[in-house]
Structure 1
Amino acid sequence: MKPAFDAAAFRARAEVAITIALEVGREAARFRRDSNPGTLAVENKGLQDFVTVADRRAEQAIRDGLLSRFPNDTFMGEESGGQSGGTGTWVVDPIDGTTNYIRGFRHWGVSIAFVASGNVEIGVVYDAAEDKVFHAVSGGGAFKDGRPVHAAATADPANALVILGHSRKTSFDDHLALSRRLHERGMDYRRMGAAAIDLVRVAEGTADLYYERHLNAWDMLAGALIAREAGAMVAMPPVERLLADGGPVIAHSPGLAGEFAFILDLEGLAPVTR
């Protein structure tokens, strides 16, 4: 089913989202830099699940900025919730990698996706480590500060660098078994703690795989589109399911498809196509 938008409407939304992501990301970085630990007012919502004053401020700024320009769109955010519907929905994580942000580890970002008729049409990710914005509009390629990015051409697993996420909703034993299997194939691996940034690392060719068994939609949708538009192979459940329940995501360099086919089989997924 085709969305009720033309290409110009998507480009207009992408331009606004890029500006907002950069402004909000820089403001969050300034707030973290200028704050002492007490000012961050951390509330523990559960083990490794934190929310800060910065999260709430960032999400409100994103919501206000987007809906003031596109009042007929709906909004779904990590902090304030919301539901998909209407002509299209913004799906937002104001600070992806909150624990990293709190501790001063600069592997965090701002993730903004736009979904229409069950498709991810726009992905925008602010990368705090480099103070740059990645973006993609479906069918138009992937960009980092306006310059095209491409997935790596890696074909030898001994040269591969992979990033593995882990959710406490899934088995840690399975995570260890996967790490061992990739290690035995000669791959180097990391766990960084910010899915949106991990996915754009695949998009720009810095990493060859990002895989996590369970994420929420706001963690993955923008980065997954950017990775796909950069030429990576991406697999995830249908968008409607992700919006409701979350799920797995796999993004990898195309030259290593044979190495990672077992992950697709494990999750029962096929690469995302339009």
Structure 2
Amino acid sequence: MSSAFDAAAIRARSEVAISVALKVGREAARFRRDSNPGTLAIENKGLQDFVTIVDRRAEQAIRDGLISRFPDDTFMGEESGGGSGEGGTWVVDPIDGTTNYIRGFRHWGVSIAFVAGSTVEIGVVYDATEDKVFHAICGGGAFKDGLPVHVAATADPAHALVILGHSRKTSFDDHLALLRRLHERGMDYRRMGAAAIDLVRVAEGAADLYYERHLNAWDMLAGALIAKEAGAMVAMPPVYKLLAQGGPVIAHSPGLAGEFAFILDIEGL
């Protein structure tokens, strides 16, 4: 299904999303910096799965900022739910990396994607580490604070840095087996706990791979588009499946395609 939105409509939405992400991200960062962690009103949604009052306030602020400008769009957020519509849908994680945010580990961000039909048209990610915004429009390249970003040219696995995510919905033994295989090929690896930020690290060439076996759509769609537009090879299920049930994502620099082909086979992508 092709998008019903012309280039001007997409560009207008991108500009608003960038502004909203920057404002909400900075407000969340200021609140965390100036507040005692005990004031965050942490709730536990599951094992190592938390939500704070900031998540909910941030999501409402994002919703208000987007829907006030584009009232016919629909909204799907991690905290408030919602579904995709026949027109365009905003898919939002207000604080990606909530555990990091709670603990003061500044690897977290704000993730905003816009989906029309079967296409992720816009990806915007506020990176709290650097107080900068990454964004991409489908077919238009990837940018960090307005400057183009590109994936790394790494071709030697012994020079590769990979970032792996792990969900408790998937096998830890499989995760360990993957670590061993990458380690044996000479690669170094990290687990950072914020998929949107991990994906933009691939986009800007700081890492050569990001892979996780299960993510929700709001965790991955914006970052995956940015990585793809920066030149990464990206594989994930169709958008409609991700919106309904989540799934795997892999994004990597092209020079290491042969090293990571086995992951595509594992996932059937």
Question: What TM-score do you get using the length of structure 2 for normalisation?
Answer: 0.99
Once the 2 structures are TM-superposed, how far is the Cα of residue 43 of structure 1 from its aligned partner?
A: 0.9
| 1:272 aligned residue | none
AA matched with 1:181: R
Aligned partners of 2:86 and 2:117 also within 8 Å: no
Once the 2 structures are TM-superposed, how far is the Cα of residue 30 of structure 1 from its aligned partner?
A: 0.5
Once the 2 structures are TM-superposed, how far is the Cα of residue 45 of structure 1 from its aligned partner?
A: 1.6
| 1:109 aligned residue | 109
State the distance in 2 between where 1:63 and 1:132 align.
21
State the distance in 1 between where 2:202 and 2:222 align.
13
Structure 2 unaligned runs (5+)?
none
| 1:201 aligned residue | 201
AA matched with 1:23: K
| 1:168 aligned residue | 168
| 1:181 aligned residue | 181
Aligned partners of 2:44 and 2:51 also within 8 Å: yes
Once the 2 structures are TM-superposed, how far is the Cα of residue 86 of structure 1 from its aligned partner?
A: 2.9
Aligned partners of 2:152 and 2:253 also within 8 Å: yes
State the distance in 1 between where 2:240 and 2:2 align.
15
| 2:77 aligned residue | 77
Question: What SS is found at the alignment partner of 2:212?
Answer: strand
State the distance in 2 between where 1:206 and 1:126 align.
16
AA matched with 2:60: Q
State the distance in 2 between where 1:51 and 1:108 align.
13
AA matched with 1:151: V
1:133 and 2:118 are equivalent in the alignment? no
Aligned partners of 1:122 and 1:135 also within 8 Å: yes
Once the 2 structures are TM-superposed, how far is the Cα of residue 2 of structure 1 from its aligned partner?
A: 1.5
> Could you give the per-residue CA deviations for residues 217-273 of structure 1, whole angstroms, max 9, x where no partner exists?
00000000000000000000000000000000000000000000000011000xxxx
AA matched with 1:53: I
| 2:97 aligned residue | 97
The residue correspondences of 1:1-274 to structure 2 (distance < 5 A) are 1-269=1-269
State the distance in 1 between where 2:155 and 2:146 align.
27
State the distance in 1 between where 2:120 and 2:37 align.
37
Question: What TM-score do you get using the length of structure 1 for normalisation?
Answer: 0.98
AA matched with 2:158: A
State the distance in 2 between where 1:163 and 1:37 align.
28
Aligned partners of 1:72 and 1:86 also within 8 Å: no
AA matched with 2:36: N
| Length, aligned pairs only | 269
State the distance in 2 between where 1:2 and 1:216 align.
23
State the distance in 1 between where 2:38 and 2:258 align.
49
Task: Please report the RMSD computed on the Cα atoms of aligned residues, expressed in angstroms.
Answer: 0.5
> Could you give the per-residue CA deviations for residues 165-219 of structure 1, whole angstroms, max 9, x where no partner exists?
0000000000000000000000000000000000000000000000000000000
State the distance in 1 between where 2:31 and 2:86 align.
34
Once the 2 structures are TM-superposed, how far is the Cα of residue 138 of structure 1 from its aligned partner?
A: 0.1
> Could you give the per-residue CA deviations for residues 51-91 of structure 1, whole angstroms, max 9, x where no partner exists?
10000010000000000000000000000000001310000
State the distance in 2 between where 1:227 and 1:176 align.
25
Question: What SS is found at the alignment partner of 1:123?
Answer: strand
State the distance in 2 between where 1:108 and 1:81 align.
21
Aligned partners of 1:166 and 1:213 also within 8 Å: yes
Structure 1 unaligned runs (5+)?
270-274
Aligned partners of 2:2 and 2:118 also within 8 Å: no
State the distance in 2 between where 1:87 and 1:117 align.
7
Aligned partners of 1:123 and 1:137 also within 8 Å: yes
State the distance in 1 between where 2:33 and 2:255 align.
40
> Could you give the per-residue CA deviations for residues 6-52 of structure 1, whole angstroms, max 9, x where no partner exists?
11111100000000000000000011111112210101121111010
Between the aligned residues of both structures, percent identity stands at 88
Aligned partners of 1:158 and 1:187 also within 8 Å: yes
